[in-house]
């Protein structure tokens, strides 16, 4: 049971191992705060959709299961979108088009199809949380590397008078800007994926 | 046949429940969003205003100029603020622009767009809009060749957005000139 929760962190990490949800993972990771916002949105939608898909798994007819899942996912995404625009408009503006695109984030449909429609509600909740946290964790690593190298800053959530931006002396004046652009996202993603593969191979080798 | 009906009605039921839930959330968030949008509009109006008292919004009944505000100076009209609709690369652009009574662009802000992030979306920034300021009518740059080399490099990759904004601003300028400081 615990495995349902922890497998998403490293062993079946949705971004680095399953290679799901790469589009938002590359798109929003130019700032750490965007990764946090996207992660929170995905965890919420994933939790909601996994619960409903699991509860309704005997009700939803096999033939129309994909449209049914999409309706459920799209509803949760629209809720996230409305709530975000109403309560955290700054985050909503910086995430832009990526919020509605959570609908087609394959992590979510993937988990509904591969896990929630075969397992109990309890396992599905754990799976959603684990996968969601794994996704957020992956986004945070990419965003951290890209923002530190590409802009020389780390932007977190603004609290009170503090604007939430930590600048790194030396780096913030002349950063390697390529990391904040799309090409940098692919570079970082490639190296991290290689690192995960290497760790996996080493582990397999040790077992032999 | 009955199987198909059953499948269809189940899907319809899921959709209906989803729609109901969304409606419920909307009643909570809608006033908040409206409030936020109104604050954003007010800030934008003040940003582009040439100075003076901004009057009430008036419908313009034009394809491009949606509505306008007359800005009153000390004893005459000091300018106009126009709400313009342009057609960008990926959907409509809503632009708020201020003009002097003789049709010169004084300030301009892109309020809504669906342009490509990193390319057309750059038009939301201040430096982008600066390229249009101070011109009136057909003199407003609408093609890359009307810009200096460095300026035209800056908008490279988003030429359609650039001329779309320019076209809307030119129509706005013509509209203001036709009003003739009234």
Whether B94 contacts B172, CB under 8 Å: no
Closest CA to B106 of B54, B48, B66: B48
User: Which residue among A72, A82, A182 places its CB closest to the CB of B26?
Assistant: A82
The whole-angstrom separation of Cα B43 and Cα B33 is 15
The Cβ-side half-sphere exposure at A170, using a 13 Å CA radius, reads: 0
pLDDT value of residue B118? 63
Query: Within a domain: residue B26?
Result: no
Q: CA nearest A68: which of B14, B108, B132?
A: B14
Q: Which helix (H) or strand (E) holds B68?
A: strand B65-72
Locate B100 and state its tokens.
């002097």
- Say if residues B110 and B169 touch (Cβ distance below 8 Å): no
Domain that holds residue B120: 49-179
CB contact under 8 A, A181 and B118: yes
Are B72 and B88 in contact by the 8 Å Cβ rule? The answer is no
Of A53, A73, A17, the residue nearest A194 (C-alpha): A17
Instruction: Report d(CA B164, CA B166) in Å as an integer.
Output: 5
Q: Are A132 and A115 in contact (CB under 8 A)?
A: no
Give contacts of B29 with chain A, Cβ < 8 Å: 82-83, 85-87
Mean pLDDT highest for which of B18-22, B32-36, B174-178?
Answer: B18-22
pLDDT band at B182 (very low <50, low <70, confident <90, very high): low
Give the list of residues 6+ apart from residue A143 with CB closer than 8 angstroms, or none: A28, A29, A30, A31, A32, A34, A35
DSSP B136: B
Domain membership of residue B158 (yes or no) is yes
Give the distance between the most distant pair of CA atoms in chain B.
77
Q: Specify the higher pLDDT residue, B144 or A124.
A: A124
CA distance A40 to A102: 11
Q: Confidence class of residue A206 from pLDDT cuts 50, 70 and 90?
A: confident
Please tell me which residue, A54 or B118, carries the higher pLDDT value: A54
Which residue from A60, A85, A182 is facing B33, i.e. has the nearest CB?
Answer: A85
| A contacts of B11 (beta carbons < 8 Å) | 61, 64, 67-68, 71
ipTM above 0.95, yes or no: no
What would the two tokens of residue B176 be?
């203001």
Residue B15 inside a domain? The answer is no
For chain B, the average pLDDT equals 83
- Categorize the per-residue pLDDT at A160 as very low, low, confident or very high, splitting at 50, 70 and 90: low
């Amino acid at each position: 049971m615990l495995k349902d929760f922890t497998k998403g962190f490293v062993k079946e990490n949705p971004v680095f191992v399953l290679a799901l949800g790469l589009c938002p993972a590359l798109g929003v990771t130019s700032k750490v705060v965007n990764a946090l916002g996207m992660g929170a949105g995905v965890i919420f939608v994933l939790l909601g959709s996994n619960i409903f898909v699991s509860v309704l798994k005997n009700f939803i007819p096999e033939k129309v299961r994909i449209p049914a899942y999409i309706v459920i996912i799209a509803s949760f995404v629209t809720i996230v979108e409305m709530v975000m625009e109403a309560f955290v408009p700054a985050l909503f503006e910086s995430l832009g088009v990526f919020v509605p695109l959570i609908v087609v984030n394959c992590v979510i449909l993937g988990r509904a199809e591969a896990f929630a429609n075969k397992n109990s509600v309890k396992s599905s909740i754990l799976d959603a949380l684990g996968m969601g946290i794994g996704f957020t964790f992956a986004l945070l690593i990419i965003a951290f590397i890209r923002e530190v190298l590409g802009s020389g800053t780390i932007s977190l959530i603004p609290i009170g008078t503090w604007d939430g931006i930590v600048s790194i002396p030396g780096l913030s004046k002349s950063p390697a800007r390529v990391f904040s652009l799309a090409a940098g996202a692919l570079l970082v993603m490639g190296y991290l994926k290689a690192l995960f593969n290497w760790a996996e191979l080493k582990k397999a080798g040790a077992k032999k | 046949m009955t199987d198909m009906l059953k499948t269809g009605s189940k899907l319809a039921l899921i959709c209906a429940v989803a729609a109901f839930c969304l409606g419920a959330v909307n009643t909570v968030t809608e006033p908040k969003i409206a409030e936020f949008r109104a604050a954003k509009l007010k800030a934008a109006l003040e940003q582009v205003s040439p100075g003076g008292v901004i009057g009430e919004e008036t419908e313009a009944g034009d394809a491009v100029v949606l509505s306008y505000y007359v800005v009153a100076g000390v004893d005459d009209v000091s300018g106009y603020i126009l709400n313009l609709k342009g057609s960008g690369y990926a959907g409509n652009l809503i632009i708020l622009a201020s003009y002097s009574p003789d049709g010169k662009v004084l300030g301009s802000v892109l309020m809504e767009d669906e342009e490509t992030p990193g390319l057309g979306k750059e038009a939301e920034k201040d430096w982008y809009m600066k390229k249009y300021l101070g011109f009136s009518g057909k003199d407003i740059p609408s093609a890359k060749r009307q810009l200096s080399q460095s300026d035209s490099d800056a908008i490279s990759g988003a030429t359609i957005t650039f001329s779309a904004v320019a076209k809307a601003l030119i129509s706005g300028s013509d509209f203001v000139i036709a009003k003739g400081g009234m």
